[in-house]
Structure 1
Amino acid sequence: MNRVRILAPALAAVLCLPCARAADTTPARRAFTAVPGPDAEYLLLRDRYVLERDGGVVHERELRLKINSFVAMHRLYGESRVELDPAAATIETLHNRTVRPNGQVVAAPENAVIDDLPPAAHRNPLWSHLRRRVFVHTALEPGAVIELGWRVTHKAGALPWLEANEAMAAEIPIAERIVRVELPAGVQLRGGVAGAPEGAGAAWTKPARPDVPEGGAWVWRRTDAPAVPDEPGAPARAACVPMLRLSTCPDFAALAEEFARRVAAAGPVPPDALAAVKDAAAKETDWERRVLAALDVLPNELAASAVGPVLQSWRPRPLAEVWQAGVATPLELAVFQAAALDAAGIAARPGLAGIRGHAVPECPALAGFERPLVLVEDPAGARRLYDVRDPARGAPLEIALDAPVLHGALGAGDAAPAVPAWRRKVVFAGEIVPDGAVRGALSFSAAGGAVPHGTLVREPQRLADDLAAQLLPGGKAKGVRVTALDRSACSLACMLEGALPAADALGLLDLDVSKIAGGIDAALPVLAPVARTSPVALPGPGVEELDITLALPKSMKVVALPASLCVRNSLGEVTVAVDARADGSLRIVRRIVLESKEAPASAFEEVRGLVNAWREPAARSLLLRREGGGK
């Protein structure tokens, strides 16, 4: 009887389950219903620049940013940051508040505005006074609107003129984008919009000039600017979005003069630093090696600091202070190296390379010149460019760099050059002997931006060993000879010796016949299998070719040849040609041609076609088997 009493309630509950399910027809309330559209969007993004009569420059920013998702709240737009040098500028918070979806306005508390050290200035005592103003946005929820305003005032004399370098689009949509510049009477404004979209309208090129007492104002306005996502494999941001570049600098000669003045203010090279550079150079008899040895001294003695030219207002600290502190920014290192080389009898000056992007040739401004370089004049009077941290790395920058260069005393500056098409070719002709050893002749040639000039000057053996190891794991280069070398072309020859890789459990020997050391593989973009809205950066224009000829012994049989293929489109060409000859030898030729340095988003499928063809696994592998081997 007790057992019946216990089971009865349980049985009743089970019998009632269908009825309960039928009654519960209301769907569960979702914790968050996403606002349709992007994670966030600017309702207003407004910048105002004012050039005061005493030379001071005021920059104000006002934004209204609508938050549409938790991703935007917690990962993307929960904070806003402004970096500055307190010795040259002051910052004010105009307002920092949030308008909630119900209309309630929530002002951020005082402790939501924080001053800290910019990450780039960590471990650099010379720039430890730099500050970053962090605005923490509070009361956020989907549908809320952040309203922020701040003002930076540059002291009179801190900037020689007014400059602006503003993007007219962002990674999220902008409902209204405004840039306003106010100038005293008689001051001329130069520049304009670079990369304006087609059909942008007169507001891009002929801004309105509202009345301003005793002066003038220029206003650029854009409405409903679509999002330009910062996608992987895209060119530099300045090449993807319209950029408004403005300056009151009179001309490029004045720009070069100002840069040279700031460089000269860094003072002379400390005697012990100069002695170290001279000692390193004196150990080399060849001019090329002397330059590289002298350039290597200071990067080995001074720690690297990430403070960029913009944050330090293109003003290096005195070289004596830099040497004593043992740390240098890229600009300070360029100034230090150039001054040391010049004092050691090698004509050199510091330089600045611009950001690759849309050009505004009529706008002389320091803004946009953010990569310090060392410019050296060779015995023939030609100009060379060297990286400040690794001068021997890669191709000569004066050939490979597709950006304008500002170089002070050596000239006012150069426009972005037309980069010539580069070329890289590796040819191997060898044989496989019955015991699996591989021997043959290897040659390498390159031109343009593919010339590893510094490596060939210093370590041709290392380059040859890298080439051999990529063609054949464990391969060694012997009898290395540099047969031609200048800044624009080179060639190298050697003998390659090695052995085939070990056979797998089935007796198959898998030989990768696709790799070139320092080749194009690493430079090709990694492409996601989705549609794209931004351009794709390509390592072109250029040609790479790998030509392999192998003579096989009678005891070696071919199991599978690399797949032959040919893909051509408006961006270039990929071909893999395989020839199995009657005498038992094989010839495999892989070739890729790229016609340009970037492709528009509309040509994304063509980019995918070329990259996928070049990376096709079936076209990279040669399978061999020893006769009688395997199962």
Structure 2
Amino acid sequence: MKKISISLLFILFLFSGLMAQEENADALFLKQRKEFILNNDGSMDYRYSHQLKLITYLASDKQYGESFIVYNPLFQHLTVSKSETTMASGRKVNSPVNAFNEVLPQFAPNAPAFNHLREMVVTHTGIEPGATIDLNYNIHTKAGFLPALMVNEILTTNSPVKELEIIIKVPQSQKIGWQLFNSKIIPVVKVEGDYTIYSFTFRGLKAIAHELFQPRDNRLQPRLVFTTGKQLFEKITAQPAFALEANDGMNALVESVKSKETDPLKIALKLQEIVITEFATNMVPPIYMGFKMRMPTEVYTSNYGNEPEKALLLAALLKQAGFEATLAALSPSAILDVKSANPLLFTEYLVKAELPSGRSIVLSPIRMQDQNPIVSQPNKSLALLVPGKALTFERLSQEHNLINLNGKITIDNNGKAVGVCSASLSGIAQPYYRVARNEKVVNGLFADGFTSQDIKESMISENQPLALKVSYTIEKNNILRESNGLSFLTLPQLIGDAAFWSFTEIPTARTESLELPSTIDQDYVLTLTLPANYSLLIPSVQKKIRNSAGAVEIGIKQEGQTVTIKRKLSLDTQVLKPEQVSELRELIAIWMNKNYKQLIIKKK
């Protein structure tokens, strides 16, 4: 009797949870089914179906009026077997012939190598609040197009799912490596004929919350990863593109760069800049091309490529310049498992190059970055795709990210400020690549208080991959802003400060964890000498808070004509639980309070 009561309570709890989701959602997937099949002849099938109930006008008018299916018609065949709407009245409406339209995917314009790709747009008719859409289609893939049957499936969507079924069907002789993350569901495994079938059933999946600063790469969402590939990455890296061959044009380009630069780091950064700015980027997911990359020479001649192709082009140019260069990729470390690892897990393609000094650098082929993109990425791993070798991963670490500014400034009776400042930046706050390209950029590291025109002299005493130290001589006219008989002075802040992380609004309540761009320690100390006839409107301020999100301290004190300002912020937890967000909000509210970012000065 006790077991029956517990079971009934669980069912009632689950049912009430689903009812709450339906009441608050714009739409609800009553059922989703995804079936991944590896046939005996090496071909593959992906069968998808859903029953989607529309609840609000937003869902019927904006969100789910169309379905989009991308495929490669040279190697794949799409069959839509059902597109039917059951209206609220019970009437059934099939999508007419003209509701099926093929278009070029948005990510493949102006690129002949990708112009054969197609996106089927299925327009659903008869939709309204209360209607249910039934969709069923199959994509058949020819043998040899993909190196393996592989999946990286995030189980949650923008709407809650009442029931999701995932089926994996492979020949008995075929072994698969699979891993389920952030879920405790156990598959049912059975044998039917020549096939082994793995069945996963999930119920009551919540919708993905639309909240800012969610953990990146959806790594905390339930996810299923699997692959059937043996030596999967060896197959990919065996392609001719990984030989990194160069043509005469590429050789001439490298020689031109080397004739103007002798510093190895600057040569590498210049080649990166050329690949980014002079070659178009088409964000075509590699899976639609079967993870087959064009030769760097072809990418160079065509003047465009997708991310891994541009990475191989950059690697080829670096190789021609004398560097040892390797294609690399970032992947969320929390969802990495050797037996299920596959290239669908890669979130970003990069190039790792070895400098003559023995130090390595990592470069993006599609975006210029101030700092090495693998610095302070503790939740990611760097995968190295070396021809002829198994995939290896480097777990990335958290560096000490620091912003420190110390200054002594004197203001005369005319509002002119003169003095010196010293800045130290480390970890992700250190714009190492940016400074290496042009040392003059250190004059523009101030976001508030001073501009580059106020810097009379700057001197870099250290510029290492993780540490920058700069001293400044300051001379600024009219540092005081007059208003209503008072003078206002904006306190200096450096670029990279947490105040510029777009914390425009942090709600008091949150359903998902919050991930900061990084942990960071910020420390500003400014000693200010005022003219004899000036004093602070509020001569003393002291704020100090420490909680689970970090700590903040604001101290302003005037003694005679000397004012000492100390501002410190430590954010030492990168991923905050929902219940911690209010404590982060408390810290940020003080740090960004304009009354603590400026001084109000009055005449005596």
Aligned pair partner of 2:384 in 402, 407, 413:
407
1:452 corresponds to which residue? 431
Aligned pair partner of 2:497 in 514, 519, 526:
519
CA contact (8 A) 1:240 1:534 kept: no
2:91 corresponds to which residue? 104
Name segments (4+ residues, structure 1) moved above 6 Å. Answer: none
1:466 corresponds to which residue? 445
Question: 1:192 & 1:401 partners in 2: Cα distance?
Answer: 23
CA contact (8 A) 1:353 1:371 kept: yes
Label 1:361 to 1:448 Cα distance change in 2 as closer, same or farther (>3 A): farther
Question: 1:74 & 1:562 partners in 2: Cα distance?
Answer: 57
1:274 corresponds to which residue? 251
The Cα offsets for residues 215-241 of structure 1, whole Å up to 9 and x where unpaired, read as: 211111111122231322212252241
1:388 corresponds to which residue? 365
SS in 2 for 1:142: coil
Give matches, 1:564-575, under 5 Å. 564-575=542-553
SS in 1 for 2:73: coil
CA contact (8 A) 1:421 1:540 kept: no
Partner AA of 2:226 in structure 1: L
Give matches, 1:45-60, under 5 Å. 45-60=32-47
CA contact (8 A) 2:377 2:397 kept: no
Label 1:470 to 1:461 Cα distance change in 2 as closer, same or farther (>3 A): farther
2:125 corresponds to which residue? 138
1:452 offset after TM fit, Å?
Answer: 0.8
1:14 corresponds to which residue? none
CA contact (8 A) 2:34 2:46 kept: yes
CA contact (8 A) 2:382 2:395 kept: yes
Aligned pair partner of 2:59 in 63, 72, 82:
72
Identity %: 22
1:303 offset after TM fit, Å?
Answer: 2.2
Aligned pair partner of 1:246 in 200, 205, 226:
226
Figure out how many residues of one structure are paired with residues of the other and give that number. Answer: 580
Question: 1:415 & 1:67 partners in 2: Cα distance?
Answer: 45
The range that moved more, 561-570 or 163-172, is: 561-570
Aligned pair partner of 1:228 in 208, 220, 225:
208
Kindly report the root-mean-square deviation, in angstroms, between the aligned alpha carbons of the 2 structures: 2.3
1:514 offset after TM fit, Å?
Answer: 5.5
Label 1:117 to 1:530 Cα distance change in 2 as closer, same or farther (>3 A): farther
Are residue 283 (structure 1) and residue 260 (structure 2) matched? Answer: yes
Label 1:49 to 1:525 Cα distance change in 2 as closer, same or farther (>3 A): farther
Label 1:497 to 1:514 Cα distance change in 2 as closer, same or farther (>3 A): closer
CA contact (8 A) 1:276 1:297 kept: no
Question: 1:149 & 1:404 partners in 2: Cα distance?
Answer: 37
CA contact (8 A) 1:424 1:445 kept: yes
1:208 offset after TM fit, Å?
Answer: 0.7
Partner AA of 1:395 in structure 2: Q
Partner AA of 1:218 in structure 2: Y
Question: 1:354 & 1:534 partners in 2: Cα distance?
Answer: 21
1:116 offset after TM fit, Å?
Answer: 0.5
2:135 corresponds to which residue? 148
The Cα offsets for residues 462-489 of structure 1, whole Å up to 9 and x where unpaired, read as: 222332x622357522332221122122
Are residue 364 (structure 1) and residue 344 (structure 2) matched? Answer: no
Bigger strand fraction = 2
Label 1:560 to 1:118 Cα distance change in 2 as closer, same or farther (>3 A): farther
What TM-score comes out, normalization by structure 2 length? 0.90
* Unpaired stretches in structure 1, ≥5 consecutive residues: 1-34
Partner AA of 2:191 in structure 1: D
The range that moved more, 380-389 or 353-362, is: 353-362
Label 1:463 to 1:258 Cα distance change in 2 as closer, same or farther (>3 A): farther
1:610 offset after TM fit, Å?
Answer: 2.1
CA contact (8 A) 1:524 1:539 kept: no
CA contact (8 A) 1:465 1:476 kept: no
Partner AA of 2:435 in structure 1: L
SS in 1 for 2:323: coil
Label 1:445 to 1:313 Cα distance change in 2 as closer, same or farther (>3 A): farther
Question: 2:441 & 2:117 partners in 1: Cα distance?
Answer: 43
1:311 offset after TM fit, Å?
Answer: 3.8
CA contact (8 A) 1:64 1:146 kept: yes
Aligned pair partner of 2:103 in 116, 119, 129:
116
1:550 corresponds to which residue? 528
Question: 1:142 & 1:524 partners in 2: Cα distance?
Answer: 36
Question: 1:266 & 1:143 partners in 2: Cα distance?
Answer: 57
Question: 1:86 & 1:585 partners in 2: Cα distance?
Answer: 74
The Cα offsets for residues 324-355 of structure 1, whole Å up to 9 and x where unpaired, read as: 33222222211101011102211112222125
1:563 offset after TM fit, Å?
Answer: 4.7
Partner AA of 1:306 in structure 2: M
Question: 1:525 & 1:457 partners in 2: Cα distance?
Answer: 30
Question: 1:63 & 1:117 partners in 2: Cα distance?
Answer: 25
CA contact (8 A) 2:211 2:512 kept: yes
SS in 1 for 2:212: coil
Question: 1:384 & 1:413 partners in 2: Cα distance?
Answer: 17
1:218 corresponds to which residue? 198
Partner AA of 1:68 in structure 2: I
CA contact (8 A) 1:281 1:294 kept: no
Label 1:503 to 1:299 Cα distance change in 2 as closer, same or farther (>3 A): closer
CA contact (8 A) 1:395 1:451 kept: yes
Label 1:423 to 1:262 Cα distance change in 2 as closer, same or farther (>3 A): farther
Label 1:539 to 1:267 Cα distance change in 2 as closer, same or farther (>3 A): closer
Question: 1:285 & 1:79 partners in 2: Cα distance?
Answer: 55
1:266 offset after TM fit, Å?
Answer: 7.8
Question: 2:270 & 2:582 partners in 1: Cα distance?
Answer: 46
Are residue 260 (structure 1) and residue 237 (structure 2) matched? Answer: yes
Aligned pair partner of 2:408 in 401, 404, 429:
429
Are residue 183 (structure 1) and residue 170 (structure 2) matched? Answer: yes
1:538 offset after TM fit, Å?
Answer: 0.7
Label 1:170 to 1:454 Cα distance change in 2 as closer, same or farther (>3 A): same
CA contact (8 A) 1:55 1:160 kept: no
Partner AA of 2:39 in structure 1: E
1:4 corresponds to which residue? none
1:505 offset after TM fit, Å?
Answer: 4.0
1:397 corresponds to which residue? 373
The Cα offsets for residues 537-582 of structure 1, whole Å up to 9 and x where unpaired, read as: 2123221222211111213222246853222211211211222224
Partner AA of 1:102 in structure 2: S
Partner AA of 1:63 in structure 2: H
Question: 2:261 & 2:535 partners in 1: Cα distance?
Answer: 52
What TM-score comes out, normalization by structure 1 length? 0.87
